[in-house]
Chains A and B, each alone.
Chain A
Amino acid sequence: MLNLFSPTLVLLLQEAERSRIAQMLDQMRQAAVAPDLSKFLVIGALLFIIGVAGVLTRRNIIVIFMSIELILNAANLNFIAFSRYLQQIGSPNALAGQIFTVFVIVVAAAEAAIGLGIVIALYRNKETIWVDEIDLLKW
Chain B
Amino acid sequence: MQKYIWLVPLLPLIGAAINGLLGRKLRFSEKLIGGIAVGSVALSFLISLTAVYSYGFGGHPEWPKPYVTSQDGFSFNWIPGGAVSINHGAEARREAESQKQVEEKLAAMTPEERSQTHSILTATVDSPRYALLNIEWSYQLDPLSSIFMLIVTGVGLCIFVFATGYMHGEAGFYRFFAYMGLFMFAMLVLVMGSNFVMMFVGWEGVGLCSYLLIGYYFDRQEAANASRKAFITNRVGDFGFALAIFGVIATFGSAQYTDVFQQAKSFPIELIGHWGVLSWIALGLFIGACGKSAQLPLHVWLPDAMAGPTPVSALIHAATMVTAGLYMVTRTNVIFQHAQTMLLVVALVGAATAIFAATIGITQNDIKKVLAYSTVSQLGFMFMACGVGAFAIAIFHVMTHAFFKALMFLGAGSVIHGMHHEQDMRRMGGLKKYMPYTYWTFMAGWLAICGIIPFSGFWSKDEILWKSASMTYIPLGWLVWLIGTIAATCTAFYMTRLMAMTFWGKEKFLEGAGGEADEAHASAYDKGLAAHDAVQPSAGDRPRHEPGEHVGPVHEDAAHHVATHGHGEGHHGAHIPHESPPSMWVPLAVLALLAVIGGFVGIGPAFRSVTGSEHPGGRLNISTWLNPIIWNPETREFNSAEGAHEAAPAETAHGEAPATAEGAHGGGSGYGDVGFNIAHSVESSTHSELATEWIFIIISLVVAGIGMLLGGLFYVWRPELPNIWAQRLRPLYNASYNKYWVDEFYGLVVTRRTMDASRGVYAFDSKLVDGIVNGLAWLSRQFSRVVGGVDKYFVDGLVNTIAAFIVRLMSPLFRAAQTGLTQNYALVMVLGLMLAVAAFFAKDVAGAVQSILGSLRPN
Contact = CB atoms under 8 A, between A and B. Distances in A.
Given A57-B823, A137-B821, 4 more contacts: A8-B856, A55-B823, A56-B826, A137-B825
A55 B823 CA distance: 7
Interface string A107-139: 000000000000000000000000110111111
Contacts of A139: 820
A56 B827 contact: yes
Interface string A16-52: 0000000000000000000000000000000000001
Contact of A138 (B819, B823, B827, B830): B819
Interface in B776-824: 818-823
Interface in A29-83: 52, 55-57
Nearest to A132: B821
Interface string B835-859: 0000000000000000000001110
* A-B residue pairs, 7 tightest by C-beta: A138-B820, A135-B820, A137-B820, A56-B827, A135-B821, A52-B830, A131-B823
Interface of A: 7-8, 10-11, 14, 52, 55-57, 131-132, 134-139
A136 B856 contact: no
Given A135-B819, A137-B820, A137-B822, A56 B858 contact: no
Q: Which of B819, B822, B830, B856 has the most A CB atoms < 10 Å from its CB?
A: B822
Nearest to A139: B820
Interface residues of B, number: 13
A55 B821 contact: no
B823 A7 contact: no
Given A52-B830, A56-B830, A11 B858 contact: yes
A7 B858 CA distance: 8
Contacts of A137: 820-822, 825
Contacts of A11: 856, 858
B858 A14 contact: yes
Nearest to A61: B822
Name the prevailing secondary structure of the A interface residues.
helix
B856 A131 contact: no
Given A52-B830, A56-B830, A138-B818, A132 B823 contact: yes
Contacts of B856: 7-8, 11
Nearest to B857: A7
Contacts of A57: 823
A7 B856 CA distance: 7
11 contacts: A7-B856, A7-B858, A8-B856, A10-B858, A55-B826, A56-B827, A57-B823, A131-B821, A131-B822, A134-B821, A137-B820
A136 B820 contact: yes
A136 B822 CA distance: 9
A15 to B, nearest CB: 11
A29 B101 CA distance: 112
B564 to A, nearest CB: 69
Q: Which of B818, B819, B823, B857 has the most A CB atoms < 10 Å from its CB?
A: B823
Contacts of A8: 856
Contacts of A55: 823, 826
Contacts of A131: 821-823
A60 B151 CA distance: 95
B835 to A, nearest CB: 14
Nearest to A8: B856
A51 to B, nearest CB: 11
A57 B822 CA distance: 11
Q: Which of A8, A11, A14 has the most B CB atoms < 10 Å from its CB?
A: A11
A56 B823 contact: yes
A64 to B, nearest CB: 8
Nearest to A14: B858
A44 B822 CA distance: 25
Interface string B669-701: 000000000000000000000000000000000
Contacts of A7: 856-858
A76 to B, nearest CB: 20
Contacts of B830: 52, 56
A10 B859 CA distance: 12
A8 B855 CA distance: 10
Interface in B728-749: none
Contacts of B821: 131-132, 134-135, 137
B841 to A, nearest CB: 13
Contacts of A135: 819-821
A116 B857 CA distance: 52
A115 to B, nearest CB: 12
B641 to A, nearest CB: 80
Interface string B384-423: 0000000000000000000000000000000000000000
